[in-house]
Structure 1
Amino acid sequence: MELTLVKEIEAKGIPGRGPVQLTDQQAQLVNIKTVPVTKGPLDQTIRAVGQVVVNEEKTAALNSRVMGWVEKLYVDTTGAPVTKGQPLMALYSPDLYSAQQDYLIARRQGGSLKESARKRLELFGISDEQIAALEKTGTPTNTLDITAPLDGTVIEKKIQPAQMVQPGMPLYRIADLSEVWVQAEIYESELPFVKKDQKAVVKIPAYSGREWEGRVDFIYPFLEGKTRTNMVRLVLPNPEGMLKPEMYVNVEIKNDLGEELSVPSSAVFNTGKQQYLFVETDKGVFVPTLVELGPVVGDRQLIRSGVEAGDAVVVDGNFLLDSESQLKAAASGEPHAKVAEGAKEGQE
């Protein structure tokens, strides 16, 4: 079937493309379908897979500051809940014992020597409360209790009873799990729609029907090269402790785009150098028209310029139109095809 142009119309700045005019019968045979360009409110939901991790801002690592031996473990299991100030272990250290003696002697003498001796105790990790107890009793202790620096859960325990420890050796790692992070991978094309402090919803397959609300706390400043994704960090309250580190979750980030001009994605041709679609300017007259594209939202393509709301664009049969448009442009010998008015209708 030959598609014939019947009046002179110029394509809008698209090299190698010309306008095409069809009769009603031809348009029906090739299944041409048009829809209007719409302008209205658009909502977008970005869906991603994430993983629960501990909140690094609510995590503390306990390391030994002196050489010594583990005299006793008060908290001997990973996963045990602890409160701030709770004794975790008793450490025997000759260096600590000597430092306590030096402080008691310096305290009796007074002056700058006392401050220097107290500073040494603080550098060994002895708290103000423990120093006050030493001043009250006046007797150095053989062991020192290492206490929890915050309320939380023991997520790592690196020591055993009677074990020798060295300065810098890790002892415990404690995390407050009442608030956790979720790290989600967002596709590169969706990054323009993700902003800091944006609301997000987290769902867990194991807890059907439950949702947790959080917010975007941080967008990492680098991309994963192999997957072309960007890590986004969410912060979520976790008062019941149902969100557990290493748990996989589904993330939804909702975005209100406001009033936007859009067409179905199937309407757009993208050659890499130019983007265009076919607009029905008159009945049966289809003109290839350059457009400036915005991002894709679901099955809709946002349009920045080139068409207006209400313009009829082709969404079905446009590949045949594009082929005929190229043939007509080549036959005319002009980069922007023109068609002589009064040409006869094509025959099947």
Structure 2
Amino acid sequence: MNNPSNKMKKEYVIGVSALVATLIVTLVAVQIDWGAMFSSSNHSISSENSDFVQAGPFQIAVSVEPETPQVGENRIVIQVKDQEGNPVSGARVRAVGEMPAMGAMPAMHAQADIQESAAGVYQGDFELAMAGSWPLAVDVATDEAHHVDLAFDMATGRRGIQLTTATPSGDVAYHTCSMHPSVKSATPGTCPICGMDLVPVTREELQSGSVMVDEGRRQTIGVKTGEVIRAPFEVPIRLQGQITYDETRLSAISLRFDGWIGDLYADFEGKPVRKGEKLFTVYSPELLSLQEEYLETVKRGRQGSVGNQRQALVNASRKRLTLWGLNNAQIDWLEKQGKAQDYVPLFAPTDGVVMQKNIIAGAAFSQGQTLLKIADLSSLWIETFAYEQDLPLIEPGMSASVRLTNIPGDEFTATVMQVDPFLGENTRTARVRLQVDNTNGQLRPGLFAQATLKSDFGEMLLIPKDAVLVSGEKRIVFKDIGEGRLKPVTVRTGYSDDEYVVVRKGLQDGDRIVTSGNFLIAAESKLKAGVDQW
């Protein structure tokens, strides 16, 4: 018989041994699981174990944690190298997951907050709001010429992410929309904004800013080219104005004594008068007394011997008449009459028309009062106004062609006689007076006129006005550099004559440029990499 005590000891040892064996197996299993977990974690940031893909000028590896994306918090790890395998630091990296819109539910976005954790390693957390498919877009750029896009298929509950598209590493840098250059895609397709086909942008175009437009497309969109030329150049200056009197040919009739009007011959405004014709007659007691004194002095001088003393008396008496406002013609007329006249005539001092009449027959007048104004219309002025930017081009003596509103088609020649040395405070313009001949009487004061002056610059470097595209303060011209390529060139322009523009800088004589179809080229390409020039 077996001893019961020995049997119990044997069962106890077996039980303890089994427990120890179980604990050892458990610890080994836990250790293996932890090692696998750490190994997986290290794999996410280890360059040796990551799957890199070629994308443009970069090598890029993308992974997510957990490996099976889940609703809630997730992490993305992006590793960036150059073609030589060196880590790329300081890149701009973005990662966004998007669940497309479904029915009334709008699209949802999950953007990662990316930070560079080590040289060439970029990490960030993102949150998926609900289960489903979340296509992932990754964008990496160091500058405008080094920019790539990658797209991945990602979904919750499905292990890993699958690369769908990436910027090719060949000559094409990316594809963009001609109307929306902010759209950049790694693959051909259509613009998500306007639906237009995306066009490729090559790396050569990124560096030079040129675009390729073959002959077939040029004919389709109406592109024409021409040469930069050097030719005589004049700038037209168009001025609006009005015909007015020549102020140097105005005459005012006034007297230096009080009196009354007798006969009035210049009896209405606008009446033409000739030099020496009677305008009116006047009566004045003081003038009558002076006439008698003068005629008596002249009579005594004729009866006696003519000496210096008598001639001096005649001259003094004649001078008194002139001081009273009579001219030599009136005094000579008085001598011919031989006696004092109650009513003395006044004669027209020049040819012209009566532009102002302030008297009527029989009316009294006061000394110094303006009785008539006479204007000589054989020469007239055109008063125009020039803006301050045109003033440096205008000089006295310049010839101008003039057109009038009431005589369409006919042109007259005028000459710049004076430019005001000051500007109008409110209009910021200066008055420019032109003189025009009117011996035929065809022109009339008050008519509106358009004067065109031409400032001669001599020979200048010229391009057609339509060849220049305006972008803010910049001026862009497409230069044909051969082999179907058009390169945008920033130019500095000068004056324009509405057909040609002066080129100050940026082009040379003989350069071929696009003269028509510029806007269509710009609309299709937006100068691609040349956007900086706009």
Do both share a fold (TM > 0.5)? yes
User: 1:137 and 1:47, CA in 2 relative to 1: closer, same or farther beyond 3 A?
Assistant: closer
Select 2:209's aligned residue among 20, 37, 55. 20
Structure 1 vs Structure 2 CA RMSD: 3.6
Deviation of the 1:241 alpha carbon: 1.6
SS at match of 2:360: coil
Mapped to 1, the partners of 2:499 and 2:380 lie a distance apart of 34
Q: Deviations over 1:266-314 (max 9, x none)?
A: 5154655x666454455526254453x3212114221233321122345
- What is aligned with 1:244? 444
Say if 2:403 is the partner of 1:203: yes
Mapped to 2, the partners of 1:179 and 1:328 lie a distance apart of 55
User: 1:270 and 1:198, CA in 2 relative to 1: closer, same or farther beyond 3 A?
Assistant: farther
SS at match of 1:121: helix
- What is aligned with 1:12? none
Structure 1: stretches of 5+ with no match in the other structure:
10-18, 330-348
Say if 2:333 is the partner of 1:142: no
SS at match of 1:65: coil
- What is aligned with 1:340? none
Q: Deviations over 1:136-160 (max 9, x none)?
A: 5553322221111001111111111
Matches within 5 A, 1:199-278: 199-254=399-454, 257-266=457-466, 267=468, 269=470, 271-272=472-473, 277=477
- What is aligned with 1:131? 331
Matches within 5 A, 1:2-13: 3-6=201-204
Select 1:309's aligned residue among 509, 517, 521. 509
- What is aligned with 1:95? 286
User: 1:322 and 1:166, CA in 2 relative to 1: closer, same or farther beyond 3 A?
Assistant: farther
User: 1:327 and 1:56, CA in 2 relative to 1: closer, same or farther beyond 3 A?
Assistant: closer
Select 1:162's aligned residue among 362, 371, 381. 362
Q: Deviations over 1:38-65 (max 9, x none)?
A: 2223455444433221222222111222
User: 1:101 and 1:307, CA in 2 relative to 1: closer, same or farther beyond 3 A?
Assistant: same
- What is aligned with 1:64? 255
Q: Out of 275-284 and 234-243, give the one that drifted further.
A: 275-284
Deviation of the 1:74 alpha carbon: 1.7
Q: Is the 8 A contact 1:4 1:22 kept in 2?
A: no
Mapped to 2, the partners of 1:232 and 1:327 lie a distance apart of 44
User: 1:146 and 1:322, CA in 2 relative to 1: closer, same or farther beyond 3 A?
Assistant: farther
Deviation of the 1:237 alpha carbon: 2.3
Select 2:487's aligned residue among 263, 266, 286. 286
Amino acid at match of 2:500: R
SS at match of 1:51: strand
Pick the structure with greater CA Rg.
2
- What is aligned with 2:269? 78
Deviation of the 1:83 alpha carbon: 1.1
Q: Is the 8 A contact 1:281 1:287 kept in 2?
A: no
Matches within 5 A, 1:308-347: 308-314=508-514, 316=518, 317-318=521-522, 321=526, 324-326=529-531
- What is aligned with 1:338? none
Q: Deviations over 1:172-202 (max 9, x none)?
A: 1111222222223344444444443333333
User: 1:298 and 1:72, CA in 2 relative to 1: closer, same or farther beyond 3 A?
Assistant: same
Mapped to 2, the partners of 1:298 and 1:269 lie a distance apart of 15
SS at match of 1:62: strand
Mapped to 2, the partners of 1:49 and 1:38 lie a distance apart of 32
- What is aligned with 1:344? none
Q: Is the 8 A contact 2:402 2:452 kept in 1?
A: yes
Amino acid at match of 1:89: F
Deviation of the 1:228 alpha carbon: 4.6
Mapped to 1, the partners of 2:362 and 2:258 lie a distance apart of 13
Q: Is the 8 A contact 1:68 1:91 kept in 2?
A: yes
Q: Out of 69-78 and 309-318, give the one that drifted further.
A: 309-318
Mapped to 2, the partners of 1:24 and 1:144 lie a distance apart of 91
Deviation of the 1:215 alpha carbon: 2.7
Mapped to 1, the partners of 2:264 and 2:458 lie a distance apart of 59
Amino acid at match of 2:204: V
Task: Report the count of equivalent residues.
Answer: 318
Q: Deviations over 1:297-344 (max 9, x none)?
A: 114221233321122345614586467424599xxxxxxxxxxxxxxx
Structure 2: stretches of 5+ with no match in the other structure:
1-175, 177-199, 301-308
Amino acid at match of 1:150: T
